[in-house]
Structure 1
Amino acid sequence: MEDQVESNSSFNSDSDKLINSDSGKPVNVSDVEQVSQKEKEVKEAMEKEAKEREAKEKEAKELAKEAKQKEVNELAKVAKEAKEKEAMETKKREATPTGRKEINNPFEAATSKVSHLVHWENPIHSGIVLATGLSVIIYTSYYSLISTYFALIISLLGLNWIIVIGKKQFQALSSTEYTNPFESLIDKQIFERAKIEKYLNIFVDGVEFLLLEYQKVILVEDPSRTFKFIVFLYSLWTILGWFSIRTLASIVLVLGFSVPTIYRRKQEFFDEKLNKMRGISNSYCERATGLLKQHTKGVVEKGRNYAVTKGWATKEE
């Protein structure tokens, strides 16, 4: 019995060892399993690294594709804007007689800002502008602008004088060298030539644009436009007989900040009424233009006939 137990134990101990055919040394089974486990971990790490590399490459390709698409869209947008600008300039050249000077409207940016204010897109800014305008109008009804200007200048000069003298006395008491508190501002350049030229060009463009538009109205380039301008001037002349300029400015300011909001809320109703009034005014303008052309034509014919009778011109002319 003891011999059988010993044989079984020896068999079990021998089974835990393998004979290496090359070296003839025994190899432990647990070492083989550890090696295989390590190989498996290395393989999984390599696969994970390959997947991460593939994901990064895919992400880089997508980013490059998005950047390229964005660049293409920007180029298309720039090309579209350039094409629209060229078409607008071509249309303007076709509609404008040769040799006439045309200036782009320099008030477009200001018009958009005013529209932003009167439509109350930012209530805080609109409220501040409206309150400031009304405050200035009310203030100028009691005090003149010239008196206000001189009062501010005198107050500012007196305050600066007090500051300079006070600092001078304080430095004398503390036995320190006197320095003007506004030394940094004294040597500072007041105007920058580039900014002056920029704003001066804007001012000149604005004045020239207004003069050209006024010239078109005065020389009756568009009879209906000139007629509307006459009606506007006559209405303004009549209204100024009823109200002072300050009162009229207050009314215009309040209406300017209230009418656009009311119109936006009741747009359909006002559009219907405005279209009807526009049709009536256009009919009157056409009628007035026709009468003007008719009488002008008669005067021209009479003048031509008179010139022919006097021998100053021939009938063919």
Structure 2
Amino acid sequence: MDGRQSTWKEKVVDLLYWRDIKKTGVVFGASLFLLLSLTVFSIVSVSAYIALALLSVSISFRIYKGVLQAVQKSDEGHPFRAYLDSNIGISEELVQKYSNVVQGHVNCTAKELRRLFLVEDLVDSLKFAVLMWIMTYVGALFNGLTLMILALISLFSIPVIYERHQAQIDHYLELVNKNIKNGIAKIQAKIPGLKRKAE
């Protein structure tokens, strides 16, 4: 089970780092095309067009193979028989495994939100408030679909850029992180009641 999971993770990493340019290009291009289509058409229209395109290809191939078999007088059978006979059901173990993972994430998120909204730690709740305030401006500038397109482009470009320029990026990130920590420490020192409780 762990071997399959690590193989799956390796495949995702290979995809994001453009190890196989053809595979990554197909996945990235298809995903971007789908998201861009959704900006122009409704999800119902996009789904219907994709289904029609797939049906057109499979029906044409089925007819082509049928005509070829009739002309050659061969008895190859249905061209998609191997796929029709294969099992595509999801096992109960897989459902159980992923439902446990989802349940863990949901519980963890619920606890963290409760902690933030009920102000267990004032500094963390203020940081969350600032983040939500920034998100109001992001929401005003972009809709969810635009953010998904930007996230997809970032997902397929940032890992490669980071891999090529890791030393410089790490250096600047360390400087930014240091300045942010210094700024937060100064604010905490000046405003009473903002100091973190000793853990």
Q: Give the TM-score normalised by the residue count of structure 1.
A: 0.41
Deviation (angstroms), 1:267: 4.6
**For residue 222 of structure 1, what is the aligned residue in structure 2?**
121
Residues 198, 248 of structure 1: alpha-carbon distance in 2 compared, 3 angstrom cutoff: closer
How many angstroms apart in 2 are the aligned matches of 1:257 and 1:287?
Answer: 37
Residues 251, 153 of structure 1: alpha-carbon distance in 2 compared, 3 angstrom cutoff: closer
Q: What percentage of residue pairs aligned between the two structures are identical?
A: 18
Output one character per residue of 1:76-124: Cα deviation in whole Å (capped at 9) or x when no partner: xxxxxxxxxxxxxxxxxxxxxxxxxxxxxxxxx9xx98xx78xx9x564
> Which among 158, 168, 174 is matched to residue 265 of structure 1?
168
**For residue 187 of structure 1, what is the aligned residue in structure 2?**
85
Contact 1:218–1:226 under 8 Å retained in 2 = yes
How many angstroms apart in 2 are the aligned matches of 1:192 and 1:246?
Answer: 30
How many angstroms apart in 1 are the aligned matches of 2:162 and 2:76?
Answer: 59
Report 1 or 2 for greater relative contact order, CA contacts < 8 Å, sequence distance ≥ 6: 2
> Which among 157, 176, 179 is matched to residue 55 of structure 2?
157
Residues 269, 204 of structure 1: alpha-carbon distance in 2 compared, 3 angstrom cutoff: closer
Residues 231, 288 of structure 1: alpha-carbon distance in 2 compared, 3 angstrom cutoff: farther
How many angstroms apart in 2 are the aligned matches of 1:147 and 1:277?
Answer: 46
- Is 1:276 the counterpart of 2:179 in the alignment? yes
How many angstroms apart in 1 are the aligned matches of 2:86 and 2:158?
Answer: 41
How many angstroms apart in 2 are the aligned matches of 1:178 and 1:125?
Answer: 34
SS at match of 2:193: helix
How many angstroms apart in 1 are the aligned matches of 2:176 and 2:68?
Answer: 74
How many angstroms apart in 1 are the aligned matches of 2:176 and 2:74?
Answer: 78
Contact 2:116–2:124 under 8 Å retained in 1 = yes
Give the AA of the match of 1:132. Answer: F
Contact 1:171–1:177 under 8 Å retained in 2 = yes
SS at match of 1:221: coil
Deviation (angstroms), 1:230: 0.9
Give the AA of the match of 2:62. Answer: V
**For residue 148 of structure 1, what is the aligned residue in structure 2?**
46
Deviation (angstroms), 1:198: 2.8
Residues 144, 257 of structure 1: alpha-carbon distance in 2 compared, 3 angstrom cutoff: farther
> Which among 129, 132, 152 is matched to residue 28 of structure 2?
132
More divergent stretch after superposition (134-143 vs 226-235): 134-143
Deviation (angstroms), 1:238: 1.8
Contact 2:116–2:125 under 8 Å retained in 1 = yes
Residues 165, 279 of structure 1: alpha-carbon distance in 2 compared, 3 angstrom cutoff: same
Q: How does 1:285-296 map to 2 (within 5 A)?
A: 290=193
Give the AA of the match of 1:275. Answer: K
Give the AA of the match of 1:257. Answer: I
How many angstroms apart in 1 are the aligned matches of 2:172 and 2:69?
Answer: 73
SS at match of 2:88: coil
How many angstroms apart in 2 are the aligned matches of 1:135 and 1:236?
Answer: 24
Q: Give the TM-score normalised by the residue count of structure 2.
A: 0.60
More divergent stretch after superposition (173-182 vs 196-205): 173-182
How many angstroms apart in 2 are the aligned matches of 1:123 and 1:254?
Answer: 13
How many angstroms apart in 1 are the aligned matches of 2:69 and 2:173?
Answer: 71
**For residue 204 of structure 1, what is the aligned residue in structure 2?**
103
Contact 2:119–2:125 under 8 Å retained in 1 = yes
**For residue 240 of structure 1, what is the aligned residue in structure 2?**
139
SS at match of 1:290: coil
Contact 2:32–2:149 under 8 Å retained in 1 = no
Give the AA of the match of 2:193. Answer: G
* Corresponding pairs, count: 175
Structure 2 gaps, min length 5: 1-5, 195-199
SS at match of 1:229: helix
How many angstroms apart in 2 are the aligned matches of 1:260 and 1:173?
Answer: 57
Output one character per residue of 1:107-160: Cα deviation in whole Å (capped at 9) or x when no partner: xx9xx98xx78xx9x56479x48x928944555444554433221211222332
